Amino acid sequence: MIAINNIHKSFGDVAVLRGVSLDVASGEVVCLIGPSGSGKSTVLRCINGLETYDHGDILINDARVDTQQADIHALRTRVGMVFQRFNLFPHRSVIENVMEGPVYVKHEPRQQARAMAEELLDKVGLNDKYDAYPNQLSGGQQQRVAIARALAMRPDAMLFDEPTSALDPELVGDVLTVMRTLAEEGMTMVVVTHEMSFAREVADRVCFLHGGTIVEEGPAKQVLSQPHHERTQDFLRRVLNH
């Protein structure tokens, strides 16, 4: 479904990704963990073409992600993205945020788009907030709207970039619950997270990124409980103890 093949990426002189390869099968949930600056966000941003890469290939259902190509917009609709800071459209109501893509990108009839948006908002637990504006919602509610907005495009896969790290601790649970439900329904997901318990429970596979390469990967329980690599052990000791 998503095939990342030895991608490299530099910002100026700084090599940020140095040969990252990762295959994500349909229905699989992969968590990316790693220290700050290790390149986790950059990997996600390359997958849906928000960032270019210098070498290698990224294929989504066998179509190459290339920001120079005209099909990049269509490709982006196949992969939903959820950002750390939500990035909802502040000038549109909750339901309009969710309808924006179906109506203006896919040109679906408003009625149909509205029905689907309501269904998705109900699913993320916001059936009473259709007409609220983003600034009237808590961070956790905003993030759930953002998830609904991405799902409204009926993507084949979802990318999450630290979706709960801008949230107050008591709001994290609701967002993780929504993500867990998605995973159970068979959504293909790549999740950058510091929520180790989420990774342990939900992820099929965990990849530990360090210095722009995947240092260790494997089944969630194995990587998180019995990491082989010293760097992984260090990292996990630090995040679990703080």
Nearer Cβ to another protein, position 148 or 207?
A: 148
Among 41, 48, 188, 193, binds ligand ATP (CB under 6 A): 41
- Torsion, Cα of 203, 206, 211, 212 (10° steps): -70
Q: Does residue 95 bind another protein (CB under 8 A)? A: no
CB of 104 to another protein, least distance (A): 6
Edge-to-edge strand order for the sheet containing 2-11? 14-24, 2-11, 55-60, 63-64
In 10 A of CB 164, how many CB atoms? 23
DSSP result, 151-168: HTT--SEEEEESTTTTS-
CB atoms within 10 A of CB 105: 14
Please report how the helices 139-151 and 110-123 are oriented relative to each other, as an axis angle in degrees rounded to 10.
Answer: 130
Q: How many residues bind ligand ATP (CB under 6 A)?
A: 10
With binding defined as CB under 8 A, does residue 1 bind another protein?
A: no
Q: How far is the CB of 46 from another protein (least distance, A)?
A: 13
Query: Out of 2, 30, 33, 41, which residue is the one contacting Mg ion (CB under 5 A)?
Result: 41
In terms of Cβ atoms closer than 10 Å to its own Cβ (0-12, 13-18, 19+), residue 54 is exposed
What letter would DSSP give residue 134? G
Binding segment toward ligand ATP, per CB under 6 A, in 35-43, 166-174, 196-204, 224-232: 35-43
* Residue 85 partner contact from Mg ion, ligand ATP, another protein, none using kind-dependent CB cut-offs of 5 to 8 Å: another protein
Under a CB-based contact definition with an 8 Å cutoff, are residues 71 and 21 in contact?
no
Applying CB under 5 A, which part among 39-47, 101-109, 120-128, 129-137 lies near Mg ion?
39-47
**Candidates 3-11, 86-94, 190-198, 215-223 — which segment interacts with another protein by CB under 8 A?**
86-94
Helices and strands counted in the chain (H then E) = 9, 10
Among 25, 26, 37, 136, binds ligand ATP (CB under 6 A): 37
Among residues 34 and 227, whose Cβ is nearest to ligand ATP?
Answer: 34
Q: Which stretch binds another protein (CB under 8 A): 84-92, 123-131, 175-183, 187-195?
A: 84-92
Q: Name the DSSP letter for residue 91.
A: T
The answer to whether residue 48 forms part of the interface with another protein (CB under 8 A) is: yes
Name the DSSP letter for residue 107. -
Give the interface size with Mg ion as a residue count (CB under 5 A).
Answer: 1
Decide: is 142 part of the binding site for ligand ATP (CB under 6 A).
Answer: no
What is the Cα–Cα distance from 125 to 8, expressed in whole angstroms?
40
* Size of residue set near another protein by CB under 8 A: 33
Amino acid at 120: L
Residue numbers at the binding site for ligand ATP (CB under 6 A): 11, 16, 34, 36-42
